[in-house]
Amino acid sequence: MPKTAPGSGPSRRPRAGVPRKPVVPPKTEDSVGPPDTRDEVTAAVPPLVEEPPKTESASQEATLIEEGTVIELPARVRKASRPRKYKPSGTPRFRIFIIDSGWNSVARRVLRHNFALIRRLHRDDPIYLLSRKKSTEFIRRHRSLIGRDPIIAVHDSAAMGWRGTAGFHGFHLHLGIQRTPRQALLALQTFARFLATHRLSANLEADIRTELRREGVQGAVEILLHKVPRVIGA
């Protein structure tokens, strides 16, 4: 390897009189931090060693200063990251069941793609996912559900605790009747929003009939005024 002439370019070897760079400890998970903070620390801590003699040119001097600078990072004891623990905020109001026999439909694809988000949005409520086999057997016993799945069944624990399944006790979202991805996604979003905003509802049945099903004169007016996304009711 040819020797570089003195002063011809930035030298890679430490020059005489310039202390070597300190040995950088190997990176571990705890010590690796975001690059921005390291740069900030680097900028904030002034150099602690003597500067090299001012005999070279200005550009080389700047390079030398950079090379010869010893930066001592303050000792930081990084706390081990705690595993995320989500504590539900109280007694779950709803029990959610997802029944999907496996039709190759757009609704099924939309549900699969958005299931993780639905789960994150409704961590307070247990979600029971029936397997394809269990769903098929279940639907075979209740034939009125054929072709309506994927179905998201929501049981209202408050209503069921009061009168069981004899009266109102929840509702189904029959996602399978939606024919386009946009319809299915809008229905899913409406469903998720409704559940999240009506956790403390005193009369869930009334809320479902007015806000989701748009029953009554007011519902008719809202449909006329296009307050209901046209694509859901189409």
Partner 1 sequence: MDRFGEVLSVVLGALALAYLIYEIDRRKRKLSDLFHVLGSEEADISAELVGMVESGELQPYTRGARA
Site residues (vs partner 1, CB under 8 A) = 95, 97, 119, 126-131, 134, 138, 141-142, 145, 153, 155, 160, 164-174, 177-178, 187, 191, 205, 208-209, 212-215, 219-220, 223-224, 228, 232-234
Q: How far is the CB of 201 from partner 1 (least distance, A)?
A: 14
Question: Is 64 or 145 the residue whose CB approaches partner 1 more closely?
Answer: 145
Question: Is 61 or 229 the residue whose CB approaches partner 1 more closely?
Answer: 229
The answer to whether residues 47 and 71 touch, using CB atoms and an 8 Å cutoff, is: yes
Question: Is 11 or 210 the residue whose CB approaches partner 1 more closely?
Answer: 210
DSSP class of residue 9 equals S
Q: How far is the CB of 217 from partner 1 (least distance, A)?
A: 10
Q: In whole angstroms, what is the distance from residue 105 CA to residue 148 CA?
A: 11
Helix (H) / strand (E) element for 95: namely strand 94-99
Token pair 């209503």 is found at 159
Question: Is 15 or 214 the residue whose CB approaches partner 1 more closely?
Answer: 214
Q: In whole angstroms, what is the distance from residue 118 CA to residue 16 CA?
A: 65
Q: How far is the CB of 80 from partner 1 (least distance, A)?
A: 22
Q: In whole angstroms, what is the distance from residue 95 CA to residue 165 CA?
A: 14
The structure tokens listed for 165 are 């399944």
Q: How far is the CB of 24 from partner 1 (least distance, A)?
A: 38
Closest CA to 73 of 34, 43, 51: 43
Helix (H) / strand (E) element for 155: namely strand 151-156
The structure tokens listed for 40 are 């900030």
Closest CA to 158 of 98, 198, 118, 212: 198
Q: How far is the CB of 104 from partner 1 (least distance, A)?
A: 19
Question: Is 185 or 191 the residue whose CB approaches partner 1 more closely?
Answer: 191
Question: Is 27 or 87 the residue whose CB approaches partner 1 more closely?
Answer: 87
Question: Is 69 or 122 the residue whose CB approaches partner 1 more closely?
Answer: 122
Q: Is the peptide bond before 150 cis (omega within 30 degrees of 0)?
A: yes
Q: How far is the CB of 35 from partner 1 (least distance, A)?
A: 31
Q: How far is the CB of 168 from partner 1 (least distance, A)?
A: 6
DSSP class of residue 229 equals -
